Structure 1
Amino acid sequence: MQDLLRSVSSSYREFSAGQKKIGDLFFKEPIFLAFSSALEVGRRVRVSESTVIRWTQKLGYKGYAEFQQVLQRKLAEERLEKAEQKISEPVADQSFLENLLDADILSIAKLKKTISEEKLLQVVDKISQADQIYVTGNFFDYGIAHWFANWLNLVLGHTETMYPSTGEYYTQLSKIERGDLVVAFVFPRYTRAALDTLKSVKAQGAEVIVLTDSEESPALVYADYELTVSVNSNLNIDSYTSVHALLTSIMRFVYVKQHAQVNENLAKVEAVYKDRNLFI
């Protein structure tokens, strides 16, 4: 993050008056730029969207999306480095709860060291390009699969949750074809039903993304693309904190890559919320 701060600082004198406003916002609230569109940033400091884009180009980036991806990564690295400095082994004078939470933070730090950004970007590309997306889960993973599928359907559409215990599952299975994408969560304990599903969809020509816990997972034999993330377990209770962190990263990359489509779909949903007076 420090190198990015230095880059903006060294270029500050060359900025136009409008670009200096963006620079000031960057120094004050970098996280706002990391997760807001160029249009939203421009509105915040009362400059045009094109001024924001030219500002990132002046810093050496092709455009706002590239700058935003770098900024998101830098912020994540900075936060995890601080966490790693504080956490190693359970601390004697901490409470039981604090040690449990530290274990979850450490699992995210481990994810940071092991995840391949290249593989993550491949997954994001496939999600963005798929004709139809089906999200399925192993026996204990259905909740997180359902949550992720709902978000994808909200922002992109054409996404369904697929679970073997329902009658709808067989209808969905019959419709899967080449050009479709299946995203599968397969964490221990592995089930035959999950593996049978992956075997079937591969035979029907769909591509498969597998999120699992290790290179030893039996689901990887069916994977075209895979992301591995360890699941922290304490007192025989699995914590999916690091899995949520990985999914949140995927969601943010999808947001940046498909920004116009995501914002259009979110605006439609918000209009329905407003029409129904849904929220207090």
Structure 2
Amino acid sequence: MQDLLRSVSESYEHFSSGQKKVGDLFFREPIFLAFSSALEVGRRVNVSESTVIRWTQKLGYKGYAEFQQVVQRKLAEDRLEQSEQEARPPNADQSFLENLFDAEIASIVKLKQSMKEDVLLQAVDLISSANRIYVTSDFFDYGLAHWFAGWLDMTVGSTEMIFPSDRHYYSQLAKLEPGDILIAFVFPRYTKMVVETVQSAKDRGAGVVLLTDSSKSPAVNFADISLTVDVSTNLNIDSYTAVHALLTSVMRFVYVKEHAKVKENLARLEAVYNDKNVFY
């Protein structure tokens, strides 16, 4: 993040008065620019959306979305580097709970070292361009898959779970076609039914984004893109902390890439919440 701050600082004297306001906000609150639209940033410092976009272009980016992705990545790298420095190997001086938390931090650090950003962005591109999105999983991963499918449907729309025990399963399979994608959670213990679902989607011409634990997963051969996350631990309970972190990263990239659509869909949902007086 320091190199990005230094780049903005070195370019500061060449900014217009409005662009300097954006630069000042970036120095104070980089996280605000990382997860807010150009319009929201402009409103925050009383400049136009186009001023914010031109500011990022003056820094050498194609536009605001590209700059925002870089800021998000830099912030994540800084956070994980800090976690690496703070993490300690298991020892008798720590409580059992502290050692467990260190193990979870280590799982995210391992994901950071193994996950290639270009592969993740390819998955995001497939999600963004899909006509319809289906999400499936083993029954061990159903809760996580259901949560992710719900977020996708809420933000980009046209998303539903496809699960062999559901009475709509075969009619959903019949609808799969080129232009659709299947996002499959396939972690141990692998079930035959989820692998068969992935194969059926592939056979029908749909794209397949696979989340799995290993290149030896039985579903890998049917995937267009595989996002691999190790979930094994030295306990009898697998850890999905890193999987959740990966999904959150996908969600943030989708939010940036499809910001207008996501914002419109969330605003529509919020209007229903308000109309029905859902929350205290």
Scaled by the length of structure 2, what TM-score is found?
Answer: 0.97
For residue 238 of structure 1, give the secondary structure of its aligned residue in structure 2: coil
**Contact in 2 for aligned 1:56/1:63 (Cα 8 Å):** yes
Moved more, 91-100 or 240-249: 91-100
Q: Are 1:113 and 2:117 counterparts?
A: no
The code of the aligned residue for 1:178 comes to P
Residue aligning to 2:167: 167
> CA deviation digits over 1:20-65, x for unaligned, max 9?
2211211111111101100111111111111111111111111110
Q: 2:177 aligns to what?
A: 177
**Contact 1:21 1:45 (8 Å CA) reproduced:** yes
CA RMSD of aligned residues (A): 1.2
Distance 2:179 2:5 in 1: 43
Count matched residues.
Answer: 280
1:141 aligns to what SS in structure 2? helix
1:195 partner letter: V
Q: Which residue of 2 aligns with 1:223?
A: 223
Which stretches in structure 1 are left out of the alignment for 5+ residues?
none
Show the counterpart of 2:148.
Answer: 148
Worse-matched range after superposition: 141-150 or 195-204: 195-204
Is 1:95 equivalent to 2:95 in the alignment?
A: yes
Contact 1:107 1:232 in 2 (8 A): no
Show the 5 A alignment for 1:38-57.
38-57=38-57
For 1:212 and 1:264, locate their aligned partners in 2 and report how far apart those are by CA, in whole Å: 32
Q: 2:73 aligned with 1:73, yes or no?
A: yes
- Aligned-pair CA distance for 1:92: 2.7
Q: What is the SS of the residue equivalent to 1:235?
A: coil
In the TM superposition, structure 1's runs of 4+ consecutive aligned residues that sit over 4 Å from their partners are none
Shift of 1:246: 0.6
Other-structure match for 2:130: 130
1:130-279 → structure 2 map (5 Å cutoff) = 130-233=130-233, 235-279=235-279
Of 67-76 and 201-210, the range deviating more from structure 2: 201-210
1:207-248 Cα distance to aligned partner (Å, 9 max, x none): 211110011111101111111011143531122110011111
1:85 correspondence with 2:82: no
**1:138–1:191 Cα contact (<8 Å) kept:** yes
Aligned-partner Cα distance in 1 for 2:252–2:117: 13
Q: One-letter code of the match for 2:124?
A: V
The within-5 A match list for 1:6-21 is 6-21=6-21
Structure 1 length as normaliser, TM-score? 0.97
Q: Matches of 1:41 and 1:49 in 2, distance apart? A: 8
TM-superposed deviation, 1:86: 2.0
For each residue in 1:91-128, what CA deviation from the matched residue of structure 2 results, as whole angstroms up to 9, or x when unmatched? 43222111111111111111111001111111011111
Tell me the distance in 1 between the aligned counterparts of 2:58 and 2:199.
Answer: 50
Aligned partners of 1:104 and 1:232 also within 8 Å = no
SS in structure 1 opposite 2:233? strand
